[in-house]
Chain A
């Protein structure tokens, strides 16, 4: 069974600095999708970024980018120029491209932004 591990329960970063959140996953599949979701204090889950495993190029969305290392099964999220609004829980998630069913979530990393 696939698993997603986020080894950092909490992190802090100074406003305007850069922070990287770690995520590793375990799978025997070669085709899959990876996601980062953000859950701010409102508790609304928001998609931050998505990566297709067959794409070698790392996905980027404005200040958010990923470092996708397929062989190492690593999928870290880099937030540049951190802003107060980035404070949230961040969840890493995995979805098979072969089986059409559920997404598997990590337990999350709580990110604090220090003014």
Chain B
């Protein structure tokens, strides 16, 4: 089955530690996205990538980093510089171009900083 997987589902981290959230897709999509969702809030874009080895900052990139070395993978690192990292993180992808604008989402990762 084609889809987007995110792991782990729940993640706990101590303050001051970096942590990496995984996002993998086997849909052959060119574009991938990371969103953050806080209670009562909509989705806020962290980073996105439209092609391998290229990515752009979204609206709230500070304290986060990404890489896009493979088409299938777009890991997100939450660094110790992120002041309030506890949130729900969603990864999404779409085919790219005007023929593939609809974004499809992974199941999400809940990050809690202890």
Q: Measuring CB to CB, which residues of chain A are less than 8 angstroms from any residue of chain B?
A: 33, 35, 37, 42-47, 50, 91, 95, 97, 100-103, 105-108
Contacts and interface: CB of A to CB of B under 8 A. Distances in A.
B44 to A, nearest CB: 8
A43 B105 CA distance: 10
A54 B33 CA distance: 26
Interface of B: 33, 37, 40-43, 45, 48, 50, 56, 58, 88, 90, 92, 96-98, 101-105, 107-108
11 contacts: A37-B105, A42-B107, A44-B108, A45-B92, A91-B43, A95-B101, A100-B98, A102-B45, A102-B48, A105-B43, A107-B41
B98 A43 contact: no
Given A35-B102, A43-B107, A107-B41, 5 more contacts: A43-B37, A43-B88, A47-B102, A95-B101, A107-B42
Contacts of B98: 97, 100
A102 B33 contact: yes
B9 to A, nearest CB: 10
Contacts of B50: 100-101
A97 B42 contact: no
A33 B107 contact: no
A115 B48 CA distance: 41
Given A33-B101, A91-B42, A91-B43, A44 B48 contact: no
Contact of B107 (A44, A91, A106): A44
Nearest to B92: A45
A28 B92 CA distance: 26
A46 B43 CA distance: 14
Contact of A100 (B41, B43, B96, B107): B96
Contacts of A97: 98, 101
Most A CB within 10 A of own CB, among B41, B58, B98: B98
Contacts of B107: 42-44
A108 B92 contact: no
